[in-house]
Structure formats: structure tokens, C-alpha cells
Amino acid sequence: MIWVSYADIMPLREQGNFEYGMRLVNERRRAKVLRCKSESDQCRTLAAGLLLKRALENAGIDYETAVFEEREGGKPSLVMPDAPFFNLSHGAELAACVLADQPVGIDVEQIVRFEEKRRWDGVARRAFSQDELLTVSGGTNPAEQFARIWTRKESYAKAVGKGLGMEFKQIDTLQDAIFETRELIPGYQCSICCPAEKNGKWKEEIDIQEVSYAR
């Protein structure tokens, strides 16, 4: 089963909601929030942590006593027998979390960021295959196509624990079986990757829920 939750971070910009949320997350997450320099980054990081807390508790895992470690590549994981896999992402005003019984990655991007070609052209030339470049440049909405492919590459890199350190041109996003891409809310692309699932049947088990941080 794949559980995906997402939330608008805007309510956390209100001081009362932010302070309440900070009391709910663990010390590790609070420290990560406070290391962020901007208010927006603090809200995004807190939102992702709150989504993880909720996902773990829904899975019957005690968030307060859960132990986390960072594996090679910096990907966090749970230290416990038969631990579920999780991954977090945030972009602009949206945060997302995925929890699964197998390696998984998730990435979200706001499409409007890429409406100007100069914002994606250089990245695409460095990180996309020729077929992926043609998919972007030949489509009716290049910004949407770029966000779709980019979130797939990011979600794969996060799923395998290599992050931005891997060679993105080697990630074939046009083979759909291991990727699922959806528009969680208008204007945002979200991709989920389960690299071990080659037949695509896992997509039928995705459960997506919206979470609100408004008190």
C-alpha cells in the first residue's frame, strides 16, 4: 500500500498555527526548521514534518519514540524491524509525504515556476534524454511537461537514495511502470516512484489524502 498525504503550508504562516505545529514535531525536526533562513522554508519544512508525524501515527508507529537515521546520500529512514519507507517533498505552497512498504520517492513542483523557457531549458539540456527533450519542446504546455519529467527524475533519485548526486540523464521517465504523476492541486505536479515495481500494479493501491493545518 502507498499512502500519500499533502497540505497547503499557508496556514502555518500564521504565528499561532506555526507555534502549535512546532510543539507537535520532535526535536530533530524543530532543529531542522530553525536552520531554515526564510519564513517560507521554515513553514515548508515544518509542514513536511507534520505530515510525516501523521503518516507514522496512522500506521501505528509511535512518533515520539521513533528513531531516524540518515543513509548514504542523506536519505532519512526509520530504525526499527520491518520499518516502512517514507519520503518527503515540498515546493512553493505545497508539502507532501509518502509512506510505503517498499522503497519510494516523491517530488512536487509548482508548474508556474517553469513558464519561462529560460527557467527550465538549461536544466533540461543537462539532465534530460533526447526523447525527454522532444517531449517537453514538442508539447502544447512545455512548463507542465518539464515539471512532470523533472518530478519523476527527482522522485526516482530520492527513492534509490542518491538524490541530486546521480546522473539524471540515466533516469528514463518515459517508462511509466515505476512512476505515477498526478496534479494534487491545480498548478502542481507530483510524482511518486517505486523503482522495484516494474508492472505498474502498485498504482492501484495509492491512497491520497489532503491534510489541513488550519486550527
Q: Of the candidates 156, 164, 162, 145, which has an alpha carbon nearest to the alpha carbon of residue 191?
A: 156
For range 51-71, the mean pLDDT: 92
Q: Quick one: pLDDT at residue 1?
A: 87
Write down the domain spans for the chain: 2-211
Distance CA 114, CA 103 (A): 29
Band (pLDDT 50/70/90 cuts) for residue 76 is confident
Distance separating alpha carbons of residues 154 and 171, to the nearest angstrom: 9
pLDDT digits (tens, 9 = 90+) for 23-36: 999 999 999 999 99
- Tens-digit pLDDT profile for residues 119-173: 899 999 999 999 999 999 887 899 999 999 999 999 999 999 887 678 899 999 9
- Indicate if the pLDDT at residue 2 is higher than 90: yes
Q: What are the start-end ranges of the H helices in the chain?
A: 15-24, 27-35, 39-58, 121-127, 130-137, 142-159
pLDDT average, residue stretch 74-88: 89
Per-residue pLDDT at 215 exceeds 60: no
Q: Which residues does 34 contact at the CB level (< 8 Å), separation at least 6?
A: 42
Fold annotation for 2-211: Ribosomal Protein L22; Chain A (3.90.470)
Q: What's the pLDDT at 184? A: 93
Q: State how far the Cα of 194 lies from the Cα of 56, in Å rounded to an integer.
A: 19
Point out which residues pair with 89 in neighbouring strands.
96
